[in-house]
Amino acid sequence: MSIDFAPLALLLLFPALGVVFHLFFGPHLGRHAVNVVGPGVIFAAFAVSLWALARLLTLPPGAALRLTLWHWIAAGGFRVDFALRCDALSAVMAAVVSGVGAFIHLYSVGYMHEDEDYARYFAYMNLFTLAMLVLVTASNLLLMFVGWEGVGLCSYLLIGFWYQRPGYAYNGRKAFIVNRVGDAGFVLGLLLIAGTLAGGGVLSFDFTALAAHRAALKPVAGAVCLLLFLGATGKSAQIPLYVWLPDAMVGPTPVSALIHAATMVTAGVYMVARLHFLYALSPAALLVVATVGALTSFFAATIALVQTDIKRVLAYSTISQIGYMFLGVGVGAFSAGIFHLYTHAFFKALLFLCAGAVIHALGGEQDMSRMGGLRRALPLTYWTMLAATLAIVAVPGFSGYFSKDLILEKTLGAGAGTLWLLGVVTAGLTSFYMFRLIFLTFHGETRLAGDRYRHLHDAPPVMAVALVVLALFSVGAGWVGLPPGFWWGDAFARFLAPATGALPEAAAGAAVGALAQLAPTLAMVTGLVWAWLFYLAFPGLPALLAARLAPLHALLWRKYYVDEAYDLVVSRPLFWLAERVLGGVVDAGLIDGLVDRTGLAVETGGELARLSETGNVQDYALVYLAGAVLIVGYYAYLVLR
C-alpha cells in the first residue's frame, strides 16, 4: 500500500535551499545569517521526517509514502523517475540522518565560529545531509546511487576542508579514490541487474519492481550481492576498503561526527537491508557479509587498543561497530542490524562531539597521553562522554546494550557460533579501549604542560545543548527495542519487519542459553576491569607490557602494516606504471613524439622553402624564365610525339 505524500519534497528542499544560500548569499550576509540557516534547514528537514514517521504510524503495517517529483530517464521502454519512497526503513533512516545531523550542525556553530570559510563549511554540511536523504528515500536503485555518490563527493570536500594543508588534501583524495574502487563494484552490480532483467523483458530499477521480479535475478543473485557489497565495504569502511576512514580524522570534528554517525558509513548497511529480498536469495553472499563484518569488527578493535589520538580511537571504534551491523544483516537479522545503526548514531555522534569539546578546550591537542585529569575542568563533557561510552560498550540499560546484544543473540541463534564468539571477544576489546580513552583523558593527574589546566573551560552553550540531547538519546534510544514479553516488546523490529523482512532461521532461530546471553556482558565487565588495572591502579603497566611485547605492540601501532602493504602492492606499481610507462613511453615517446615530429616536418619544410626567397629580383626572373621554358618544352614534347 502506497499513498502520495507531498511533504516528502520538503525533506530534500530544505537542505537544498541551505546549500544555495550558503554558496551565493552566506559570504555576503555574514555569520549570523549562516548561524540561523545552516542548522535551521536541517531542523526543518528533521521536522518533516518526524511528520512522515507519524503519518506512517497511522497506516497499516507495510504501508509506504510516495512522491514522484519528475520523470528522470526515458529511453525506449526504460524509464526511471526521480521519485521518493518512505516506508518504515526509510522513515527511521531519514529521522536519524536529519535528527542527529541537525544537532551536529548546531554544535558546529560553536566549534567552527572562528573559521574563515564558515559559509562554505555549512554549504558542504547541508549538501552532505541532502545527499544522504536522497540515498535513504530513493524509490529506485539508480536514484539511490546518486545519493551514494553524493555522500562520497561530500566526504572528499569535508575531509579536505582545510585544503591549504597538503596532508589534509591528500587524505581527502585518499577517501575519494578508495571509495571509487568500491563504487566500481556497485556499478557492475547495477549493470548485471539491468542485463538480467532486460533479458526477461523487465526494465526497472524500482525497489518494488526488483522485489517482484527477484525470481528472475536468482541465477545472478550471488554475484550481484557481492558486487554491491564491494561498494558497501568502501562506503562503510570494511575490510579491505576501510583504510580511508582513520585518515578522515583530519577534517573538522563535527564532520567526523556526521560521517561516522548519520551519513556515509551507514550507507552500506542500509543498502543491504534495503535489498534484503535480493540477499536472501544467496546464503553464500550473506555468509560473506557476516564474516567480513565480524572480522572487521575484531580487527579494528585490536588496532584501537594502542592508538593515542582520541579521534583515531573513535574512528577504529566506528569501523568495529559497523562490522557488528554487517554481522547482524549477514545472519539475516536485518532489523537488528538497523537497530544497532539507529542506537549507534546517537552515541557515536556524542563521542565525537565530546572529543571535539576536549580538543576545542585544549587548543587543538588530540593526543590522550598529553591529557589526563580533565574530569574536574570539563564536567559536562566528561559526564556526557561517559554516557556515550557506557552505551557503546553495552552496559545494561544503555542503548547499545539492546542493539549489540540483540545482534549477538541472533548470530548465535542462526548457528554462527564462531562469528558469535568473535563478536563477544570484540565486545571485551571495545570495553577495554573505550574505558582506556576515558581514564587517559579524564582521570588521574593532568599531563598538560604549564598552567594550561587552570584556563580550561567546558563547551559553550550552543555546543552543550547538542551534547546533552545526544546523551539523553544515548541512554534511552534503545528502549524502543525491548525483548519480547517486556512492556511494548520488540516494537522497533515489528515496525521494521515489513520493510526489512527476515530469513526464516534468523526469525525463528535456536534458543539462546542464559550463559550465552550473559557472555557479552561478562566480556564488557572484563574489559572494564583490565582497563582500570592498566590505567588507574597500575599506570606503569601499559609501558612495561608494550616493552615486553614490542613486536605485537608495533604490529598494532602500525595498524598491521596494511597502509604500507597497499603502498607496496598498489600505489608504487601504479605510480611506476604512470611515470615510466604511461608518462615516459606513451605520453613523452608516442604522443609527444608524434606531435613534435609533425611540427619538425613543417618547420623543415619552411626552412627549405625559405631558401628560394632570396629577395633578389634577378633570381625571381630567372625562376620565372626557367618555369616558362619548362612549360613550353613540355607542350612541344606533346606536339612532337
Mean pLDDT over residues 224-237, rounded? 95
Query: Does the pLDDT value for residue 4 go beyond 70?
Result: yes
What pLDDT is stored for residue 502 in this prediction? 65
Query: Does the pLDDT value for residue 508 go beyond 60?
Result: no
In whole angstroms, give the CA distance from residue 258 to residue 352: 9
Specify the long-range contacts of residues 538-547, CB closer than 8 Å, at least 24 apart.
539/444, 546/306
- Place 510 in a pLDDT band, splitting at 50, 70 and 90: low
Look at 331 and 574; give whichever has higher pLDDT: 331
What pLDDT is stored for residue 507 in this prediction? 47
Is beta strand 2-4 parallel, antiparallel or unpaired with respect to 64-75? parallel
Position 567: which residue type? D
CB atoms under 10 Å from CB of 555, counted, come to 15
Position 113: which residue type? H
What pLDDT is stored for residue 505 in this prediction? 46
Give a three-class secondary structure readout of 65-132: EEEEEEEEEEECCEEEEEEEEECHHHHHHHHHHHHHHHHHHHHHHHHCCCCCCHHHHHHHHHHHHHHH
What pLDDT is stored for residue 504 in this prediction? 52
Q: What's the pLDDT tens digit per position in 107-153?
A: 999 999 888 889 999 999 999 999 999 999 999 999 999 999 999 99
What pLDDT is stored for residue 503 in this prediction? 60
Mean pLDDT over residues 446-454, rounded? 79
Q: What's the pLDDT tens digit per position in 41-80?
A: 999 999 999 999 999 999 998 899 999 999 988 887 788 8
DSSP code at position 617:
H
- Place 256 in a pLDDT band, splitting at 50, 70 and 90: very high
CB atoms under 10 Å from CB of 409, counted, come to 19
CA dihedral angle for residue 80, residue 85, residue 89, residue 90, rounded to 10 degrees: 100
Query: Does the pLDDT value for residue 223 go beyond 50?
Result: yes
What pLDDT is stored for residue 605 in this prediction? 83
Position 392: which residue type? I
Residue pair 280/215 in contact by the 8 Å Cβ criterion: no
DSSP code at position 483:
P
Query: Does the pLDDT value for residue 161 go beyond 60?
Result: yes
Q: How far is CA 486 from CA 34, 429, 515, in A?
A: 46, 30, 20
Is the alpha carbon torsion for 218, 220, 226, 227 positive or negative?
negative
Q: What's the pLDDT tens digit per position in 330-348?
A: 999 999 999 999 999 999 9
Q: How far is CA 476 from CA 379, 451, 484, in A?
A: 21, 39, 18
Which of 141-155, 315-329, 588-602 is predicted with the least confidence, judged by mean pLDDT?
588-602
- Place 512 in a pLDDT band, splitting at 50, 70 and 90: low
Residue with cell 529506485: 140
Mean pLDDT of the chain: 90
Share of the chain above pLDDT 90, in %: 65
Q: What's the pLDDT tens digit per position in 355-377?
A: 999 999 998 889 999 998 999 99
Q: What's the pLDDT tens digit per position in 389-441?
A: 999 999 999 999 999 999 999 999 888 999 999 999 999 999 999 999 999 99
